[in-house]
Amino acid sequence: MALLLGFLLLLGLCEDTMSEEPSSSQYRPGGLEFQLPPTSYQTSDSYDPGPAGLFFHIVRLFVHIVQPNAFPEDILRKTIQKKFDPSKEYDKIIYYEIGIIICAALGLLFVVLMPLVGFFFCLCRCCNKCGGEMHQRQKRSGPFLKKCYTISLLVICVFISIGIIYGFAANQYMRTRVEETRKLSDSNFNDLRTLLNVVPGQIDYILDQFTHPKEKAFDDLDNINSLVGDGIYEHLKPKVLPVLKDIKDLAKDMKANRDTLVQANTVLTDVKHSSAFLRTSLRDVKTSMEQTLTDPQCSFPAVAPTCNSIRKSLSVLDDSANFDHLPSLDGHITQLDGLLQTDLSSLVQKANESLSNIPEEVQNQTRDFITEFKKTLNSIQSDVKNISTKIPIQKTLSSFVRYINNSEDYILHYLPTIEECDSYSGAGFSFFFSWIVMTIVVLTFVAGGNMEKLVCEPYRNKKLFQVLDTPYLLNEDWKYYLSGLVLNKPDVNLTFEQVYSDCKENKGLYATLKLDHIYNVSEQLNITKHTGDINSNLENMNIRIEDIELLDKTGMKTLMDLRSSGIDDIDYAAYLNATERSPTRVNLTSFANDIQRKANQLPSGRLKTSLKSHADTLINIHQNQVIPLQNSMSTMNKQMKTLHYRTSGLKVRVSTTIFFLNSTQDFLTSQLSKIVVEESKQFGSKIISYFEWYLQWVEMTITQQFAACKPAATAVDSAVNVFLCSYIVDPLNLFWFGMGKATMLLLPAVIFAVKLAKYFRRMYSEDVYEDDPVNNMRHANSRARAEQGTRTI
């Protein structure tokens, strides 16, 4: 009972410690890890009897065969409640103990009969009976009987030796294990002290871990500009940046188009001037050549064909390129100049800066909030740390330390007595007379068999706990004795079996003993209140981002004017067709070379010289006027193609940009505040998650690791399963099993030994069956003398 009380007191170690309600959040923040420092214990949580375990198992099987009845739970319950009357219900005890009673009766019968049989055996020998006669009668079966007796006696002696070896082994095992009892008790008490000493440190460690979520929250608060501001910016970026990019591209294209128009218009003016000058030059050359061909020499028959041919070819000098029909681009340039008065790029840059400044704006607006919030978290940490001073753990631990010291002194006081009793073992008993040995065997069988069936076996299968957990058993006023003893609340379903199983699994005492019924740490830590304070503080984090104007009214008007500017309506085909034609109808160089070839056919004179001079003039016009004009026309052609490409679909492009601009502006107007609120809530949830994860860890640690009570279960196992059952009951049962078997076999061994002895003793006479009369007479005389001598004696 003292052991049971000690176990209950140990399990009540932390009744004044902690409790925690589980957190609803399952989110595990990254970079926030908690782990309770592990505690090492000396005593092993399992026991291995070694090779002797096989023999113990054989004995248990024998006990189970002798006593197959189930554990008498009802009898034990009535006995504890003092409601069992053996005089009236003895039949139940007899029914349960019938196997042990029969075996004990057989042993007692052996105790009575063995001395009696020995007495009559001695009388028989004294009367020359039972093998006392010194005459050997020869039988034909004599050699066979001699062998049978020899083998039987040998086998019986072997079995007797095995039984004696069992007795010696049990004695040696018990002696060895009893010598280890001191070490076992020391390790168990050291483990219990370790458990008691580590509990206050675990409490402080758990409370100190509040620093980690607090520091994590501080770090996030210091980076609120990136965590909240960047989040808002990232929400807006996919919507806003494409529109701003389109506006910026339009502004860039508008400036590029204006520059291209200016360049094209300059080239157009130059082309018009050059083409007019070219027409004048060609007209003058044509007039001069016509005058030259009026020379009288052209009337000569030999010259006339050449002059006529040249006269007819002069028509190719007419109709050179004329660009007067192409309108000037000054009006479009003026219009774009007016549009460019509004710097759309600057407006876009301003909108981009408004977006980029959101993180800084968030930080500026929350500066005071962060300062106050940090003060709140520091205050919470101070309250949490002060919890350890409010828990009366030291007072509770002191009482258990005293109990452990008293228990250890008690064991150390009686341990030498146990060791002294162990010296009187089965080995010494094996040298006593058989009936005395059997008496010891019967007594140890009854004691050891019942201990195995009534204590060890129900302890292993937990039926003993189930009996102790019977409502109103140990205290008629308490439904559950353990909860009444530990919690002072007997209606709480707290059982010995559940406590032992939980401690065996090394669970924490808080969950094992259901200490939440008497002490709720959440009320002490006030975590719910503080979490509410954190939430309310976070809700007061009022971040307001002013409406972001992507483009003002002037910029919008500029876009609309650009859409109606008509730049994409320019007749690019006319410009391209005009600039893709040749400035002249014929290549002037080829035409001049043809004139020179024809002039060379003429006779020398003024006509020939004049024609060659005109040919040189045409070549000069080609080099100085036609080629530059061609280059200008090519440049203008490329410029107009570029303008045509850039302005193609300008109305649609500008209209689309205006549509998405309006849509995005509406999105900012209606959704910006919601985005700010959403990001703020996410930030708050992240902060809360640190403390929720901390509380989850506190709950898990308290229920599974804090004050893990495995040493208590190990101590109970060491006392009952190891010391009582393995050190005492198992070797005690092995002793009576071996010595009982050896003692029971002594009787047939004596019988076979007596039967075999006469085959090896020296006889005075014997029967001889031979045909020689002389020998027969000699043996007969010898036998007669032997009988006479026997009678004389």
Please report the pLDDT score of residue 616 as a whole number. 92
Written as six digits, the tokens of 593 are: 């070379």
Q: Which of 201-215, 238-252, 529-543, 767-781 has the highest mean pLDDT?
A: 238-252
CB 747 within 8 A of CB 114: yes
Give me the helices (H) in 455-552, please.
Answer: 457-460, 463-468, 481-486, 496-504, 509-512, 521-525, 527-539
Asked whether residue 556 carries a pLDDT value surpassing 50, the answer given is yes
Spatial distance between the Cα atoms of 582 and 730, rounded to a whole number of angstroms: 125
Asked whether residue 7 carries a pLDDT value surpassing 50, the answer given is no
Query: Helix, strand, coil proportions of the chain in percent (round to 5)?
Result: 75, 0, 25
Asked whether residue 10 carries a pLDDT value surpassing 50, the answer given is no
| Residue 187 φ then ψ, to 5° | -65, -40
DSSP state of 43: S
Q: Within 10 Å of residue 7's Cβ, how many Cβ atoms?
A: 21
Three-state SS for 82?
Answer: coil
Asked whether residue 490 carries a pLDDT value surpassing 90, the answer given is no
More confident call, 469 vs 423: 469
Chain mean position to CA 592? 96
Q: Which amino acid is at 325?
A: H
Query: DSSP per residue over 575-620, as a string?
Result: HHHHHHS-SSSS-HHHHHHHHHHHHTTSPSSHHHHHHHHHHHHHHH
Give me the helices (H) in 127-225, please.
Answer: 142-208, 211-222, 224
Please report the pLDDT score of residue 631 as a whole number. 93
Q: How confident is the model at residue 621 (pLDDT cuts 50, 70, 90)?
A: very high
Spatial distance between the Cα atoms of 338 and 706, rounded to a whole number of angstroms: 80
CB 21 within 8 A of CB 698: no
User: Long-range pairs for 104-109 at CB < 8 Å and ≥24 separation?
Assistant: 104/442, 104/445, 104/446, 107/438, 107/439, 107/441, 107/442, 107/445, 107/740, 108/442
Spatial distance between the Cα atoms of 735 and 170, rounded to a whole number of angstroms: 5
Spatial distance between the Cα atoms of 175 and 178, rounded to a whole number of angstroms: 5
Asked whether residue 75 carries a pLDDT value surpassing 90, the answer given is no
Chain mean position to CA 604? 113
Nearest alpha-carbon partner for 17 in 502, 391, 367, 550: 391
CB 686 within 8 A of CB 31: no
Please report the pLDDT score of residue 622 as a whole number. 92
**pTM exceeds 0.75, yes or no:** no
Q: What is the pLDDT of residues 217-260, one digit of tens each?
A: 899 888 988 888 888 888 888 888 999 999 999 889 889 988 99
Written as six digits, the tokens of 790 are: 């026997």
Spatial distance between the Cα atoms of 202 and 709, rounded to a whole number of angstroms: 13
Spatial distance between the Cα atoms of 543 and 561, rounded to a whole number of angstroms: 38
C-alpha distance from residue 515 to each of 277, 329, 474, 486, 542 (Å): 112, 94, 21, 9, 42
Please report the pLDDT score of residue 761 as a whole number. 56
Q: What is the pLDDT of residues 322-370, one digit of tens each?
A: 888 888 888 888 888 888 888 888 888 888 888 888 888 888 888 888 8
Spatial distance between the Cα atoms of 475 and 469, rounded to a whole number of angstroms: 11
More confident call, 641 vs 33: 641
More confident call, 413 vs 73: 73
H or E segment and range at residue 136: strand 135-136
Written as six digits, the tokens of 72 are: 């008498």
CB 740 within 8 A of CB 445: yes
> Once rounded to an integer, what is the mean pLDDT over residues 638-667?
89
Q: Which residues contact 276 (CB under 8 A, 6 or more apart)?
A: 324
Q: How confident is the model at residue 437 (pLDDT cuts 50, 70, 90)?
A: low
More confident call, 11 vs 558: 558
